Amino acid sequence: MRNTASHILHVAQPVEGGVARVVTDLAAAQLAAGLRVTVACPVGGTLTDALRSAGCTVVRWDATRSPGPGLPYEVRQLARLMRAVRPDLVHAHSAKAGLAVRLAVRGRRPTVFQPHAWSFEAAEGLVARSALGWERFGARWATRVVCVSEAERRTGERHGITATWRVVPNGVGTGRFRPDGDRAMSGAGPLVVCVGRLCRQKGQDVLLAAWPEVVRRMPGARLVLVGDGPDADRLRRDAPASVTFAGAARSTAAWYRAADVVVLPSRWEGMALAPLEAMACGRPVVVTDVDGARESLPPGRAPSCLVPSEDPAALARALTTLLRDEPLRVALGAEGRAHVLASHALRHVTDAVTDVYRELLGVATAPVVGPNEGRKCITT
């Protein structure tokens, strides 16, 4: 009997930021490896265009970012999509897609859930308790829960979520993110760059609170916030003249290469892509000492690279220390690049996720014939 490639359905919401980049990278790599890949997601954001550029089949799934009164319709729509697409395995990305997929599938086919940071950490009070209660219950309908860091897995276990876990740290394309030495965007004065969605999770408000002290110690220093999000207007109101809001960028590599230091002052993370991308570009990073973020740094990380969360004074000291010490920045940049090449190259991620699929589908690898000859794929 002729072997046929397994069909993977990725379901994603949100459709921008780190989750969109992870889904795009996985889909592109799996297509190149000979798998059949379809992605269901809402319109908007950057995800649909990026997927279609990679040659991926995209189907529309109308879903809001957070649970609401439209959830029953979203689940029914997703169930209809699955009957039409007929995937062998479903991979749900982030809390909203994970909620809808597990309600639609209910364990009737192999299901991978990837939280990309737990939803209950982003909420408070009744909302947080409800989100945690769902994750405890819904774990029974995930054949595997894939976490992007050991810390994310431990957080799930600590909160009473019983699952079959797999940890697959995030990875980045080290060809796309590389130290080209192009500083054309840097201009005059030291430059600090923060890439991330403008929201409470990413902590740009803490960075803006720290920034006047950085400028006092380093006159002429400039800060660029790359990204968009719900806190954009509020953050702009509080920002001094030395801060630039660059908006969402289709490609962030040029901003990393222009920076003297890249910073991500998150309140919580699964494992953010921005520090990995910056290190791949040979730039030193400063991150907060929260789950996932600390795990992205090289072992034996320099104290100047890790600061307490929600501590503007400590953040200002760390940024100033690095801006004043060029040899340290160069050394940390080289160390970070080597760390990403060894532990966070994109191929490591795609291979590890493929191994998860292989386990769940109970299949072996076989050579792909035709244009992709010499690669491997999962076959049934």
Task: Answer yes or no: is 279 within a domain.
Answer: yes
Task: Answer yes or no: is 184 within a domain.
Answer: no
Half-sphere exposure of 257 (CA within 13 A, CB side): 15
| CATH code for position 211 | 3.40.50.2000
Are 253 and 141 found together in one domain?
no
pLDDT in tens, 153-180: 999 999 999 999 999 999 999 999 999 8
pLDDT in tens, 320-344: 999 999 999 999 999 999 999 999 9
**Domain enclosing residue 309, as ranges:** 191-343
Spatial separation of the C-alpha atoms in residues 364 and 348, rounded to whole Å: 19
Task: Answer yes or no: is 231 within a domain.
Answer: yes
Spatial separation of the C-alpha atoms in residues 329 and 296, rounded to whole Å: 17
Spatial separation of the C-alpha atoms in residues 321 and 305, rounded to whole Å: 10
- Residue in this structure with the two tokens 């209950």, named with its chain if needed: 120
The mean pLDDT value of the chain amounts to 89
Are 373 and 322 found together in one domain?
no
Task: Answer yes or no: is 182 within a domain.
Answer: no
Are 70 and 110 found together in one domain?
yes
Task: Answer yes or no: is 1 within a domain.
Answer: no
Task: Answer yes or no: is 295 within a domain.
Answer: yes
Are 166 and 230 found together in one domain?
no
Name the pTM for this structure: 0.85
pLDDT score, position 259: 96
Are 125 and 139 found together in one domain?
yes
Q: Is the pLDDT of residue 97 over 70?
A: yes
pLDDT score, position 1: 26
Q: Is the pLDDT of residue 377 over 50?
A: no
pLDDT score, position 250: 80
Are 209 and 334 found together in one domain?
yes
Spatial separation of the C-alpha atoms in residues 322 and 345, rounded to whole Å: 26
Q: Angle 71-85/94-105 helices, nearest 10 degrees?
A: 70
Are 352 and 339 found together in one domain?
no
Q: Is the pLDDT of residue 35 over 60?
A: yes
pLDDT in tens, 38-85: 999 999 888 999 999 999 999 999 999 888 888 999 999 999 999 999
pLDDT in tens, 255-266: 999 999 999 999
pLDDT score, position 187: 58
Task: Answer yes or no: is 2 within a domain.
Answer: no
Task: Answer yes or no: is 185 within a domain.
Answer: no
Share of the chain above pLDDT 70, in %: 92
pLDDT score, position 2: 35
Least confident of 11-25, 58-72, 91-105, 287-301: 287-301
Are 61 and 90 found together in one domain?
yes
